[in-house]
Structure 1
């Protein structure tokens, strides 16, 4: 009874204190991290697609597999009698999220292994899907969709890629993958993007919310949390409270360039140092941290360049040169 009272008090304190953490621009823990042990797993299998209108494999392997399947139904067939291009050997893959139970469904991707021309309108026969431990966790079957469009007269349509397809809800989970989140009486939170500042802030936010030092940042990617005694018999409720705690996530300054599309993505306050750059008809001068009467940031620099007629390719080339010179205080990623 006392444990239930303590638990109720902790929950009430949580609801009051979660809004009092003094950081701004906060994000819930569930939106930038996960619990160790709660992870997706990859499944795979090799199957046979039938019902292809002469666009399947040209060899005899698929015919042999189909003949073996028919033996299971008591039908003896010579593989040579089944030789046609209406079947194809395929690889079937899927991701199974944590805590999926038998009877739940997964989306699957199907890809041709041999020389099939197209899997369009094909049907995947029952295919067991294996985990890395060799156990069967799901079974896939169903009609294949190849998506896309037959882009003949329009450049705006994506061309259909017909040797890879997918089956929405095409796999039935047969076995749950065991998950273990609690190790002793501790839980480990794993950041999606490791960062020492965010890890430390996460531990601080948890300790501030529960008014006790139950969390400690282990490194830039993980925070270890001790389960309070009040939640020893209801860890799920504790996890739900942890997920809702908001933390000021810190991200390093980045400039991302896509040279194919001429796109530049950057944080609005990415700083740049003083410099003088001559590029074609442009001469750029930044002095005392200012571009004209504005602060020297990537955003203001791009605005100034566009105002004098710089093309996206010009802007990208200039940013790359500035990064080489070490005057951009940010990471540069080129895609």
Structure 2
């Protein structure tokens, strides 16, 4: 049976327990974004066209001045082996000076590729403007691009951006509130009142009543020792506890770009009838030649002749009973030969009619 439909099916989850560490994040323990601006050199003629990206030439001249090299004002360097780039990175929590982190390098000019380039030393700054890391190294690019003299080109993935593993060295650590006294706040990765209550219950069952209490559906407060070393051991013990999370909400996720549809096992549809049809519009062009009469002085001309027809083929209608399950939805949709685009329209219509009892998320 031809389906023409890509469905990701989430089977009904069995009862299981997860570690607390997989369900929560500790408040105040977070990564920080870093960004920088720099130059990639050593490209094989695929760098910025400086006539259209003058900031690349200006950046290069400013860098050369730091090394005592002065470029005359009358000279306009036309360099094709240099590209201006932005560098982004995530500074992990508790990162200390001397440790290295991965960085991402992306062209901001019109460079065709930064494959084989070398990033010159670039400071990476945080949201407060302070320098937290220094980046430098050879760029690793996963894409490939090539172009012939006639203008024909081929490209696989993106070659104007790449990564440098361990390409930045941390120069400054970020202060954390973890070592300060007070309660430890555990923020749930997915807010759920049941999960929040069960985490607090598991902690109290292991370490005594009153040790933890849920603040809301997304946070749990835990009493912690004042000594930083004891807080580390205390939190490690709590993160090792087993907790059975609450049931996942009924949800349908649609990727409008790829046509991928993921339907949760708890999705239900109340009684509804759905009609699915395909309207086809055909336009055919059959130009005709208009020949004038002899000695009339007219000219031969081509007269357009268009034929337009509209047809509706493959019309289907199916009915959902009350409380129909995921299997029934998939079977009915496949029987009518719906495409991913058709399924998205059907789901949206069911949601508007109030027959789809699930969150419809389109990404």
| TM-score between both structures, scaled by the size of structure 2 | 0.74
Task: Note closer, same or farther for the CA distance 1:183–1:204 as it changes in structure 2 (3 Å cut).
Answer: farther
**C-alpha separation between the residues in 2 aligned to 1:193 and 1:45?**
32
After superposition, give the CA deviation of every residue in 1:63-94 in whole Å (9 maximum; x if it has no partner). 34333333433444447375423222221111
Q: How many residues align?
A: 302
**Equivalence for 1:192:** 189
1:62 alignment partner, one of 56, 59, 67: 56
After superposition, give the CA deviation of every residue in 1:145-172 in whole Å (9 maximum; x if it has no partner). 22123499xxxx9724232222121111
Shift of 1:311: 4.3
1:325 alignment partner, one of 353, 356, 359: 353
Q: Aligned ranges for residues 113-128 of structure 1 at < 5 Å?
A: 113-128=108-123
Structure 1 residue runs of 5 or longer lacking an equivalent are 1-22, 290-295
Shift of 1:310: 4.4
User: Does residue 107 of structure 1 match 2:102?
Assistant: yes
**Equivalence for 2:140:** 145
**C-alpha separation between the residues in 2 aligned to 1:122 and 1:308?**
53
**Equivalence for 1:241:** 237
**C-alpha separation between the residues in 1 aligned to 2:113 and 2:260?**
35
Pick which of 34-43 and 157-166 moved more.
157-166
**C-alpha separation between the residues in 2 aligned to 1:52 and 1:173?**
27
Shift of 1:42: 0.4
**Equivalence for 1:293:** none
**C-alpha separation between the residues in 2 aligned to 1:131 and 1:261?**
35
**C-alpha separation between the residues in 1 aligned to 2:194 and 2:329?**
29
2:163 alignment partner, one of 161, 166, 175: 166
Q: Aligned ranges for residues 307-326 of structure 1 at < 5 Å?
A: 307=335, 309-326=337-354
| TM-score between both structures, scaled by the size of structure 1 | 0.80
**C-alpha separation between the residues in 2 aligned to 1:273 and 1:85?**
63
Q: Aligned ranges for residues 167-316 of structure 1 at < 5 Å?
A: 167-227=164-224, 233-250=229-246, 251-280=248-277, 281-287=315-321, 289=323, 296-307=324-335, 309-316=337-344
Task: Note closer, same or farther for the CA distance 1:70–1:308 as it changes in structure 2 (3 Å cut).
Answer: closer
Please provide the CA RMSD for this pair: 2.8
Task: Note closer, same or farther for the CA distance 1:283–1:129 as it changes in structure 2 (3 Å cut).
Answer: same
SS of corresponding position for 2:254: strand
